[in-house]
A and B are shown apart, each in its own frame.
Chain A
Amino acid sequence: MEITTFDPLWLAVIGTSLIAFILKYLGQSVPKSWLSHPRILKINSLVPIALLSALVAVQSFTKDSRLIADQRMAGVAVAVVALILRAPFPVVVLSAAATSALLFKIQ
């Protein structure tokens, strides 16, 4: 296996890891007063909600930069129902997978 400098996957692995560690280490090292403003804390708690929601939408309803409704939509809809029924995580994921796989085979 050849590792080239510009392979985007390797760049992503190394870049993400490096920044993730710096962010963690920073918190253990800087004075608490620097980042504990209530407004900053509030925004920080909302960022994951926005980004994860967007990821779910893009992974469920798009393909090659086009909007599309296919077997994934049905799978994710089943996951939503499972979550509303307070199903445990493995049930959520497996029910989505089973629904999507079934529709994929029928198509």
Chain B
Amino acid sequence: MSRVNRATAAQSLSVSLTVGAYGIAFGAASVAAGFSVLQSCLLSLLTFTGASQFAVVGVLGAGGSAISGIATASLLGVRNTLYGLRMAPVLQVKGLRRILAAQITIDESTGVAISQEHLGVKAARQGFWLTGIGVFIFWNIFTLAGALGAQAMGNPAAWGLDAAVPAAFLGLLWPRLINKTDRLLAVSACALALAMTPYFVPGVPIISTALLALVFGLRANLWR
């Protein structure tokens, strides 16, 4: 990687810092859900994909089994496979570099890379690596801070953490609700999960809503 485009570097850094700060919310949510500080940090280091991490601690914190937590998190992680497909021809990496590239293939690194493509493939590549590594560093530092902070707090409800966690989710979700189908799906998923909650073991009502996404996806007009 020779000279770094200034605009690319600036965008990578601002995305890294902004998104990294979400790590505080994750670290706090994870500890509030019963995970240790070490487990919270390992999730950020190894899983390293925000929505999946929030999902697994959310499901287990609500009393769900490990299997339903893993399944929910993994369904959310499938989009990283699609990002990888998109990025592979841009990055052209093999061996150890491909392993590193895979680990940092997330919403943000892919997003910045695509936004830099008009400056050429080199800028796209730099955007991917700078953003991926930047988010990785800040996400992990802020996870530790959030986890330690939550541990020092005591009862999460006294600090409003029990509302902060769903609010953080909502913040992740909100920008994705672009059209009517998205909003209808969101409301339907809330209704289905709540209706199922009294009758099913925790975790099942959440993952069941993936079927709603399937139904909506099959019915959606792709060319609208």
Q: Which of B60, B81, B91, B158 meets A9, CB within 8 Å?
A: B60
Q: Which of A35, A50, A61 meets B81, CB within 8 Å?
A: A35
Q: A19-B77, A28-B84, A28-B101 are in contact. Are A65 and B197 (CB under 8 A)?
A: yes
**Cβ contact within 8 Å between A54 and B103:** no
A48–chain B nearest beta-carbon distance, Å: 6
Q: Is B42 an interface residue (CB 8 A)?
A: yes
Interface size on B, residues (CB 8 A): 107
Tell me how many residue pairs across A and B have CB atoms closer than 8 Å.
320
Q: A21-B103, A71-B157 are in contact. Are A65 and B49 (CB under 8 A)?
A: no
The residue on A at minimum CB distance from B52 is A20
The residue on A at minimum CB distance from B184 is A49
**Cβ contact within 8 Å between B55 and A62:** no
Chain B 204-224 interface residues, beta-carbon cutoff 8 Å to A: 205-210, 212-214, 216-218, 220, 222
* Chain B positions within 8 Å of A90 at CB level: 21
* Chain B positions within 8 Å of A78 at CB level: 167
Please name 16 pairs of A and B residues whose Cβ atoms are closer than 8 Å in the assembled complex, sorted by A. A9-B66, A13-B43, A21-B103, A23-B80, A27-B81, A29-B84, A47-B213, A50-B186, A54-B208, A57-B193, A58-B197, A75-B162, A76-B166, A97-B161, A100-B162, A104-B160
Q: Is B58 an interface residue (CB 8 A)?
A: yes
Q: A19-B74, A43-B213 are in contact. Are A24 and B102 (CB under 8 A)?
A: yes
For A34, A57, A97, the residue with the greatest tally of chain B CB atoms inside 10 Å of its CB is: A57
**Cβ contact within 8 Å between B77 and A51:** no
**Cβ contact within 8 Å between B163 and A49:** no
6 extra interface residue pairs, beta carbon distance < 8 Å, beyond A17-B42, A49-B186, A55-B54 = A1-B36, A27-B80, A27-B83, A29-B98, A50-B210, A72-B166
Q: A15-B66, A46-B185 are in contact. Are A100 and B177 (CB under 8 A)?
A: no
Q: A17-B43, A46-B185 are in contact. Are A27 and B171 (CB under 8 A)?
A: no
| B residues in contact (CB < 8 Å) with A | 18, 21-22, 25, 34-36, 38-39, 42-43, 46-49, 51-56, 58-60, 62-63, 65-67, 69-70, 72-89, 91, 93, 98-99, 101-103, 105, 157-174, 176-177, 181-182, 185-194, 197-198, 201-202, 205-210, 212-214, 216-218, 220, 222
CA of A90 to CA of B142, assembled, Å: 13
The residue on A at minimum CB distance from B46 is A17
- By DSSP majority rule, is chain A's interface helix, strand, loop, or mixed? helix
Sorted from nearest, which 10 A-B pairs have the closest CB atoms?
Answer: A27-B84, A75-B163, A43-B217, A97-B160, A100-B163, A101-B160, A96-B167, A17-B46, A54-B193, A79-B167
* Chain B positions within 8 Å of A79 at CB level: 163, 166-167, 170-171
The residue on B at minimum CB distance from A41 is B82
**Cβ contact within 8 Å between B43 and A53:** no
**Cβ contact within 8 Å between A52 and B51:** yes
Q: A25-B99, A39-B222, A97-B160 are in contact. Are A53 and B83 (CB under 8 A)?
A: no
CA of A26 to CA of B212, assembled, Å: 25
Q: A52-B172, A53-B189 are in contact. Are A72 and B210 (CB under 8 A)?
A: no
